[in-house]
Amino acid sequence: MALKGDFAELITQYTTNEVTDNDSDSNHSSEVAVRHRASTTEIPANNQETNDKSKLVETETMGTGSVKFEIYKKYAMAMSMFWTISMLIGFCGQNGFNTGSSFWLTNWTEDPDGTAKSGYYLGIYAVIGLLQTLFVWYSWYSIVVGSLRASRNLHHKLLSNIIHAPMHFFDTTPMGRVINRFSKDIDILDTIMQMTIRLESVSRSPIYSHFSETLNGVSTIRAYGVSKRFIDISDQRVDTNQMCFYPNAIANVWLSVRLEFLANIVIFFAALLSVLEKGSLNGSQIGLSISYALNITESEAKWYSENPPKEEWPQEGRVEFVEYGTRYREGLDLVLKGVDVSVRKGEKVGIVGRTGAGKSSLTLALFRLIESAFGKIVIDDIDISSIGLQELRSKLTIIPQDPELRSKLTIIPQDPVLFAGTIRSNLDPFDKYSDERVWKAIQQSHLYDFVNSTDAGIHYKVSEGGENLSVGQRQLMCLARALLRNTNILILDEATAAVDLETDALIQTTIRTEFTRCTILTIAHRLNTIMDSDRVLVLDYGRVAEFESPQALLQNERSIFHSLAKDAGLA
């Protein structure tokens, strides 16, 4: 494109008109808003509560007041009681021997035979100095080891909680806030725990959020020439963050002046009393007192499975929803309402419904990414709410619409994302399978020709997000990952919604030939992929509307499935 060419002129004219329209709309909206506020001065309080509940991103909270004892207790437990007690003993011994050495010097100077007993006094003073040195070393060693242990334990606990957090946590928590916890807050634990950690920490999260958003949209920002505006926003948020340090610095100056003033008063009275009580105090004790005066200036418990399932569970793959209902988080409407369905061993079930019917919510419920509001899900006679999340997710294989790698889950998403590494590390991140098994999965997923054509084979480098692979190849990679897991329950969540017909055919062929013994739940985007299913589950607004064989539903012209098939040209 030529500089100031036709396209540039079109963009300039369009954006100018858009800004003008937006300005006029904004003025009109402001007038309407003022009139609205004037006419609705008495709004019920529950409206505000409803708005607060409906907000997606939760406001970051900040502790106020003095630091609770529970915080110190948790930090001490993270250090371990051994190192906490060791640190206290070290400091007590260090200061005790420091004071003892001063008093020993006082006694030495007051002894009229001090010169004759210099060896005795010097020997004791050397022992006191040596013990003081040992306690100084021990106290600081305890601090270093204990603080690093606390930092490591708290970091591991933070990471574990993030990994096992429910799905709605990531919907309501900005990524910048999570990065903030893992970066600066851990750095504070490693170095110092400042008084300003509360205000400074809360004001730092918007910096990371803005940086992350800018990084993701940098090409668009540069295309529209608004880099300066984003830089100004970043500078403003950095200034806001630094404002937390300014009051702290001013307060330190204010406090230091007054502490020095108070120290001078103490020194004055110590000197005055030494003069008034010169008969009862000797010179050494007076000097010691003045020298010292100069120095004045909650979690939720871990979940344990009471009855862990057998290693081979689930053996059959029977899935039952018993009057099951769930919502994404508290305060929101139910997305599944009284679902009562039983899937037999080895049965192939297609799940269909219009947008918002609750199809994907059914998958999230199976993996307990959302917890039940009522009812239960039973797999091979075991209620999945009674077993650990890692145990549950390691036994199921999912090929979902949206990607996520948790525990041993295997994914073929509609918009697949791989991790930076190699083909092998993406297929087998925990090195549990042999190269022969990996190659077999690659061959079964129709990726053999591509992988074999590369010089590195299964060690071929995959860029971040799998950007050097096509969407179809990425989905076939996820299919190979599913083949490696070889579980008895397979869930497909609109896995082929965004691929071409050729890749769709390859995936469907592999599923029909390689997963014959599995119980398969298929959330369908293309109805032709489930026409050979044993039964079809039709959801409507979170409820079970129909559950019959596809042939029976097609024959019923009043069924929802018949209308969906008719819209797709299959009936």
DSSP string, 32-90: HHHHHHHH-----HHHHHHHHHH-SSPPPP---SSPPHHHHHHHHHHH-HHHHHHHHHH
In the chain, the largest separation of any two C-alpha atoms, in whole Å, equals: 118
Tokens standing for 103? 């008093």
Q: How many CB atoms lie within 10 A of CB 318?
A: 19
Angle made by CA atoms 142, 144, 146, in degrees to the nearest 5: 60
Rounded average pLDDT per 10-residue block, the chain, 571 residues: 47 46 42 37 42 55 63 83 88 84 74 69 83 87 84 84 77 74 66 51 76 85 89 88 76 82 77 68 62 54 55 82 90 90 91 87 84 90 81 61 38 67 90 91 90 92 86 82 81 70 79 84 83 91 92 91 87 70
Strands 348-352 and 535-540, bridge-based pairing:
parallel
Tokens standing for 449? 């020709």
**Contacts with 5 (C-beta within 8 Å, 6 or more apart), sequence order:** none
Whole-angstrom distance, CA of residue 126 vs CA of residue 33: 81
User: Helix, strand, or coil here: 443?
Assistant: helix
pLDDT at residue number 99? 80
**Phi and psi at residue 461, to the nearest 5°:** -70, 130
Instruction: Give residue for tokens 């044993």.
Output: 534
pLDDT at residue number 325? 94
- Which DSSP letter does residue 325 get? E
pLDDT in tens, 328-367: 888 888 999 999 999 998 899 999 988 888 888 888 888 8
Whole-angstrom distance, CA of residue 545 vs CA of residue 564: 13
- Which DSSP letter does residue 183 get? I
**Contacts with 520 (C-beta within 8 Å, 6 or more apart), sequence order:** 347, 348, 349, 490, 491, 492, 511
**Contacts with 56 (C-beta within 8 Å, 6 or more apart), sequence order:** 171, 172
Whole-angstrom distance, CA of residue 349 vs CA of residue 561: 14
Across 417-518, the runs of DSSP E, i.e. the strands, are 421-422, 461-462, 489-493
pLDDT in tens, 52-110: 555 556 665 555 555 677 877 888 888 888 988 888 898 888 888 888 877 777 777 77
C-alpha distance from residue 372 to each of 120, 276, 284 (Å): 78, 79, 76
**What length is written for the chain?**
571
Strands 535-540 and 543-548, bridge-based pairing:
antiparallel
pLDDT at residue number 191? 59
Q: What is the pTM of this model?
A: 0.53
C-alpha distance from residue 159 to each of 58, 59, 63, 442, 554 (Å): 20, 21, 22, 32, 50
User: Helix, strand, or coil here: 116?
Assistant: coil
Whole-angstrom distance, CA of residue 320 vs CA of residue 166: 22
Whole-angstrom distance, CA of residue 383 vs CA of residue 156: 29
pLDDT in tens, 171-206: 777 777 777 667 766 666 665 554 444 556 667 778
Q: Is 394 exposed, middle or buried (0-12, 13-18, 19+ CB in 10 A)?
A: middle
Q: Is 365 exposed, middle or buried (0-12, 13-18, 19+ CB in 10 A)?
A: buried
pLDDT at residue number 402? 40
Whole-angstrom distance, CA of residue 376 vs CA of residue 77: 37
Strand partners, 546: 538
Instruction: Give residue for tokens 């074999």.
Output: 452
Angle made by CA atoms 284, 289, 295, in degrees to the nearest 5: 130
Q: How many CB atoms lie within 10 A of CB 63?
A: 12
Q: What element of type H or E holds 372?
A: strand 372-379
Q: Let me know: does 296 contact 263? Beta carbons within 8 Å.
A: yes
Q: Let me know: does 95 contact 133? Beta carbons within 8 Å.
A: no
**358's torsion region: left (phi>0), alpha (psi -120 to 50) or beta?**
left
pLDDT at residue number 44? 41
Whole-angstrom distance, CA of residue 477 vs CA of residue 495: 12
Closest CA to 136 of 75, 89, 84, 102: 89
Asked, as a colleague might, if the bond just before 413 is cis with ω within 30 of 0, I would say no
User: Helix, strand, or coil here: 219?
Assistant: helix
Q: What element of type H or E holds 338?
A: strand 336-343
Closest CA to 62 of 193, 166, 210, 205: 205
Whole-angstrom distance, CA of residue 424 vs CA of residue 477: 10
Q: Let me know: does 341 contact 544? Beta carbons within 8 Å.
A: yes
Strand partners, 383: 378
Strand partners, 490: 397, 520
User: Helix, strand, or coil here: 521?
Assistant: strand
Q: How many CB atoms lie within 10 A of CB 67?
A: 13
pLDDT at residue number 508? 81
Strand partners, 399: 492
> 444-457 burial, b if ≥16 CB within 10 A, otherwise e?
bbbbeebbeeeeeb
Closest CA to 309 of 372, 375, 394: 394
